[in-house]
Chains A and B, each alone.
Chain A
Amino acid sequence: MIAKRPARSRLRRPPGLVVVGVILVTVFCLVAIRDFDYAGARTSGSDVWVDVAHGTGAANVISSIYLGARLFDTILEVLVFSVAALGVRFYLSARGRSYEAELVPESHIVRVAVGVLLPPILLLGIYVLSYGHLSPGGGFSGGVIGASGLLFAAISLGTAHVSQRMRPPVLRWMEWSVLLGLIALAALPATCSLPLLADPLPAGRMGSLMSGGSIPLYNGLIGLKVFIGAWIVIKHFVDHRGEI
């Protein structure tokens, strides 16, 4: 016999009690970290990561961590991003348009500004992802800069126009090919009888553009993946309501 489920209203706690509980926990946490030794917590691992960066040849220590020691974690993160983009496409494509919003014509100034600013924005995205192993940046930020440039163009020219220029079938094919490329690149050491996470490419001279082993390659692939994924998410949200 299946037990009868209690009414949901009975399961709710009084909001006042919850508010007091959360405030008490917050104050408790503030009191608990009052004597926390921040300096001791910070300096424990920096030297280790500097050695890791010297091993990979990338001047950016963070790049050498998330595309070196934490490479599989990063690939799974890209996979989560892909699944989210797939989910957005799946649910919103199935629903069709909620209503037919039309493109609001932008002024001549905005149209000219888009023409002037779009190439530098895309160039900045490419710069950030190609110099990600030497300076702050990388694939994720470079891809997002590129996608925000496309959003900027879509605001002025309309999503339909930008989407047509982006060739959706090629984009769809590229989206999954890039993911496969990332997984293949990560599996390359194992196929070359190297230890896992070993870099099959030479580290190069630290500080030069051609350094960091396969880190620039990963940055390029992740940047392309994020660029395509972010554009797909933007496009489907906009398509659902008609136009921007």
Chain B
Amino acid sequence: MFGFNGVTIAIVLFGIGLLGLIIRRDLVIKLLALGLVNSATILCLVSLGAQESGAPPILTPDMRAAIVDPLPQAIVLSAIVINFAILALALVFVMLLVERYHTTDSARIERESDTEEETWN
């Protein structure tokens, strides 16, 4: 029914990552799911540019085959760096939350934060 290629795998991985982000309560698992979503996006972009028997986008004097589309690969570079930055900062925030509430359970953190808020009010 479906062609088996990088884009279809990326869509499935994106779905799994999104599910992990929504239904898992552990903050560390949520970060891993975010990483999976990001990797799926990268796979999708690279697969869109890839082609069978396409040469790598490095120009040489004896180049015969046409090169693969280089634009997705250039864009993916930004995605990787931004993902590193987001994950590093998110991990710091998770560490701060764990130090304060002694749990990685997002529902419990939310409940305790609500209780704190009510106490302040």
Contacts and interface: CB of A to CB of B under 8 A. Distances in A.
Interface residues of A, number: 58
Contacts of A148: none
B60 A207 contact: yes
Given A19-B23, A42-B49, A87-B92, A80 B82 contact: yes
A38 B77 CA distance: 21
Contact of A41 (B48, B60, B74, B110): B48
A49 B18 CA distance: 34
Contacts of A45: 69, 71
B39 interface: no
Nearest to A90: B92
B92 A91 contact: yes
Contact of B22 (A18, A46, A95): A18
B110 to A, nearest CB: 6
B7 interface: yes
Contact of B89 (A8, A53, A54, A87): A87
Interface string B30-73: 00000000000000000011110010111111000011111101
Nearest to A206: B59
A29 B95 contact: no
Interface in A61-103: 61-62, 65-66, 70, 73-74, 77-78, 80-81, 83-85, 87-88, 91-92, 95, 98
Interface of B: 1-3, 5, 7-8, 11-12, 14-15, 18-19, 22-23, 48-51, 54, 56-61, 66-71, 73-74, 77-78, 80-82, 84-86, 88-89, 91-93, 95-96, 99, 110, 114
29 contacts: A18-B22, A19-B19, A22-B18, A22-B22, A26-B12, A26-B15, A30-B2, A42-B69, A43-B51, A45-B69, A45-B71, A46-B57, A46-B67, A49-B70, A59-B60, A62-B74, A62-B77, A70-B74, A73-B78, A81-B84, A88-B89, A95-B96, A134-B58, A136-B58, A140-B77, A206-B59, A207-B60, A233-B88, A237-B91
**Nearest 7 CB-CB pairings of A with B:** A84-B85, A26-B15, A61-B57, A65-B74, A61-B70, A66-B74, A42-B69
